[in-house]
Amino acid sequence: MNQKILIVEDEPLIRNELNTLLQSNGYETVAPEELSDVIDQIKVEQPHLILLDIKLPGTSGFSLCTQIRTFSEVPIIFVTSCNTDMDELNSIMLGGDAFITKPYNTAILLAKIASLLRRAYPVKQSEQMACGGAVLRLESSSLDYHGQSVELTKNELKILYYLFKNAGKICARGDLVEFLWDNQLYVDDNALSVNINRIREKLAGIGLTDFIKTKHRQGYTI
Amino acid sequence: MNSRRYWKNRIPFLLTNLVCMAAITVFLLVCGNSFSAVLLILVVWALVLLAGLFLTYWTRKRQMQKLLDMAGQLSERYLISEVMELPEQAEDQVYYQLLKMAGKSMLEQIGEVRRERLEYKEYIEQWIHEIKTPITAMKLLCENHRTDWTKELLLELEKTNRFTEQALYYARSEHTEKDYSVREMSLSQVVHQAIADNKYLLLQSGVRLEVEEMEDTVYSDEKWVRFILNQLIANAVKYRSGQPVLRFSTRRQQDRVLLVVGDNGIGISSTDLPRIFEKGFTGQNGRMVQQSTGIGLYLCKRLCDKLDIGITVESSEQGTSISLAFHINCLIHEVQG
């Protein structure tokens, strides 16, 4: 089951785009347009996490947070454009779990959401991804194929993770580099080619050849 | 008090006395007094007159010197009328009254200007918070509808954001006492965040990043340090050359942790080096590259001074490295064990 995120945001465009962003990253979202009965909606929807804007018409994120905390311990991320220390302090005092200032880096926002969700709702089963008989084991940083296994470095694991996540689609080199940067691996275009070649050699070692295909002038795909 | 002028001012009074002396000499002589008696009277008169004059001169001079000293010690000189005593002399009282009036209107003016400045600062801060909503919306739109040109747009948005931040911190650096909070922060985290803030700039200018493992935590304000790093990154990109490389590393130096940001750019000439933190200074490099305002490094220095971070620059033709020196508080580590 996908985890549900409730977005409290009064700016329609940002609300819609956040919706799209979170949905395309595999979350279920609820984004009420009417904010007057948002507390009731939270009680009904029972979201796994709430994104809460501080400046809202007629009310403020702080007072909503106080109300939510009376009946729920759901993780709350405050999102605001006022990055004063008073706001940050308030948000922590009132039981907010994180504080993000606009304009946020989407990668950082998604990482914060993921880490809060992991902490609040620990997942028991080990994380792995499969494609064409190959299984990528994230926690042990290795790849299995027909009973054989190969160890991966941090860069290789992240590259494969991105390819597995977008299996069947073409991943542009630029997007791949950007994804690596979002994960604090500062790999440039040349280094990416080197990494891809090394992965291919490793995979060939366990009998998996031609797994990563190069699409000329477009990128890679599996 | 100018003594020559003082005595010049006394000339009419002295002349009056001389005329009186002459008149009384003639009168006494005509009345048949002896010359020696008249001379005695004149000598006594002159002596008393001179003694009186010198005594007043001396006391006046002392009074005036006291006032000058008092004003000299005041940090706000225009407040002199508030601290001085009401003078004895009738004319002096008029001047005292004038001073009071001038001081009061001055205070009103200053109050007005201060209030206007504060209002302007508040307006700027509010404006910056408002502009961030559309910037966020544009960023999200770009991220959700990726094409080749959204990357260009995201780069421009990064720039927009950097300039607005600069304005915000410029407004804030005037009254910083309340605007920062010192907390434990991880150097590695703040470096990665600053890089994320400039992702498109760095990617599109082809900068190779070398980020060393950093384990140190320091006590400082994360937002401010992030802003400073953003300015340094923008500078490194602006003044790049050849195959740009940007290195982040940390080094221990006695009771300090140095965060070093090094590039292989065009460097800063040794004649410009001492002045780079001056407001509005752009130097030789600034004349070659557009968009040099001379504000970025000035702000960095100001914020560093407020946060007690030492900022030093080394530069050669092979590049520039800027180090931020954070104090390590041994006591905190001892308490925490």
pLDDT tens digits for B141-180? 998 888 878 888 999 999 899 889 888 888 887 765 567 7
* Residues recorded for chain B: 337
Q: Is B180 on the interface with A (CB under 8 A)?
A: yes
**Which among A11, A108, A177 has the least Cβ separation from residue B203?**
A177
**In whole numbers, what is the pLDDT of chain B averaged over residues?**
88
Give me the pLDDT at residue A86, please.
Answer: 77
Say yes or no for a CB contact (<8 Å) between A107 and B139: no
Q: Within 10 Å of residue B138's Cβ, how many Cβ atoms?
A: 20
Report the candidate in B237, B228, B230 with the shortest Cα–Cα distance to residue B291: B237
Q: Which of A13, A103, A178 sits opposite B203 (nearest CB)?
A: A178
A156 and A111: one domain?
no
DSSP letters, B303-320, are HHHHHT-EEEEEEETTEE
Between β-strands A59-60 and A55-56, what pairing exists: parallel, antiparallel or unpaired? antiparallel
Residue B331 has pLDDT above 80, yes or no: no
Domain boundary among the residues A58, A92, A120 is at: A120
A85 touches B: beta carbon within 8 Å: yes
For chain B, say whether A14 makes contact (Cβ under 8 Å): yes
Q: Say whether residue A24 is in contact with chain B using an 8 A CB cutoff.
A: yes
Q: How many Cα atoms within 13 Å fall on the side-chain side of residue B244?
A: 23
- Is residue A10 domain-shared with residue A104, that is, in the same domain? yes
pTM of the predicted protein model: 0.79
* Interface mutation vs chain A, best among B127, B133, B172, B205, most A CBs within 10 Å: B133
Judgement on whether residues A23 and A105 belong to the same structural domain of the protein: yes
A72-88 pLDDT per residue, tens: 889 999 888 776 777 77
Q: Do A108 and A78 lie in a common domain?
A: yes
Chain A residue numbers touching B196 (CB-CB < 8 A): 105, 107-108, 181-182
Distance to chain A for B257, nearest Cα, Å: 22
* Dihedral sign for Cα atoms in the order B329, B330, B335, B337: positive
Contact A22/B at CB under 8 A = no
Contact by Cβ (8 Å): A163, A212: yes
pLDDT given at position B62 = 92
- Assign residue A41 the CATH number of its domain: 3.40.50.2300
pLDDT level of residue B17 (50, 70, 90 thresholds): very high
CA dist., res. A103 & res. B140, Å (int)? 9
Residues A163 and A70 in one domain: no
**B33-59 residue pLDDT tens:** 888 999 999 999 999 999 999 999 999
Considering only CB atoms, A85 lies closest to which of B129, B179, B199, namely B179
Q: Are residues A51 and A150 in the same domain?
A: no
Residue A81 Cα distances to B127, B133, B174, B247, angstroms: 11, 7, 21, 31
Q: Is B136 within 8 Å of A84 when comparing Cβ atoms? A: no
Q: In terms of domains, do A24 and A77 share one?
A: yes
Which domain, by its residues, includes A36?
Answer: 4-120
Residues β-bridged to residue A52: A8, A78
Q: What is the pLDDT of residue A49?
A: 92
Last residue of a domain, one of A53, A87, A120: A120
B154 touches A at CB < 8 Å:
no
Q: A87: nearest CA in chain B?
A: B179
Q: What is the spatial distance between Cα B239 and Cα B231, in angstroms, rounded to a whole number?
A: 12
CA distance to partner chain B, nearest, from residue A215 (Å): 17
pLDDT digits (tens, 9 = 90+) for A186-222: 988 888 889 999 988 888 888 888 888 888 878 888 8
The DSSP code for A104 is P
Structural domains of chain B ordered from first start: 3-105 (no CATH), 186-336 (3.30.565.10)
A146 and A94 in a common domain: no
Query: Do A36 and A114 sit in the same domain of this protein?
Result: yes
Using the Cβ of A28 and the Cβ atoms of chain B, whether some distance falls under 8 Å is answered with no
- Kindly list the residues from chain B whose CB atom is less than 8 angstroms away from the CB atom of residue A18: 140
Q: What integer is the mean pLDDT of B276-283?
A: 86
Q: By the CB < 8 Å criterion, does B147 face chain A?
A: no
From A53, which residue of chain B is nearest by alpha-carbon distance? B133
Among the partner residues B157, B208, B211, nearest to A188 by beta-carbon distance:
B208
Q: How far apart are CA B172 and CA B125, in angstroms?
A: 8
Query: Which of A106, A93, A121, A123 is closest to A51 using CA atoms?
Result: A106
The residue among A120, A155, A187 that closes a domain is A120
Question: Do A77 and A155 sit in the same domain of this protein?
Answer: no
- Write b or e for each residue in B68-86: b if 16 or more Cβ atoms lie within 10 A of its Cβ, otherwise e: eeeeeeeeeeeebbeeeee
Which of A85, A108, A188 has the CB atom closest to B181's CB atom? A85
Of all residues in chain B, the one with the smallest CA distance to A190 is B208
Q: Is A103 on the interface with B (CB under 8 A)?
A: yes
Distance, in angstroms, between A71 CA and closest chain B CA?
31
**Can you say whether the dihedral through the CA atoms of A202, A205, A208, A214 is positive or negative?**
positive
Chain A residue numbers touching B208 (CB-CB < 8 A): 186, 188
| A90, A166: one domain | no
Q: Are A73 and A100 in contact (CB under 8 A)?
A: no
Q: At A180, which CATH number?
A: 1.10.10.10
Q: How far apart are CA A5 and CA A32, in angstroms?
A: 11
* Total structural domains within chain A: 2
Q: Clarify whether residues A140 and A196 are in a common domain.
A: yes
Q: Give the C-alpha separation, B228 to B234, whole Å.
A: 10
Say which residues have a Cβ less than 8 Å from residue A169's Cβ, sequence separation at least 6. Answer: A221
In angstroms, how far is the first alpha carbon of chain A from the final one? 26
User: What's the CA dihedral at A33, A37, A39, A42 to 10 degrees?
Assistant: -50
Please determine, for the modelled complex, whether the ipTM score is greater than 0.85: no
Q: Do A103 and B139 touch (CB under 8 A)?
A: yes
Distance from CA of A96 to the nearest CA of B (A): 18
pLDDT 10s digits, B100-148: 999 899 999 999 999 998 898 889 888 888 898 899 999 999 988 888 7
Mean pLDDT for the stretch of residues B61-88: 88
Instruction: Using CA coordinates, name the residue in chain A closest to B204.
Output: A174
d(CA B276, CA A148): 59
What pLDDT was estimated at residue B328?
A: 82
The residue whose two tokens read 């100018």 is B2
Mean pLDDT by runs of 10 across the 222 residues of chain A is: 85 90 89 85 89 85 88 88 76 84 84 87 73 83 85 89 86 88 87 89 84 84 83
A188 contacts chain B (CB < 8 A): yes
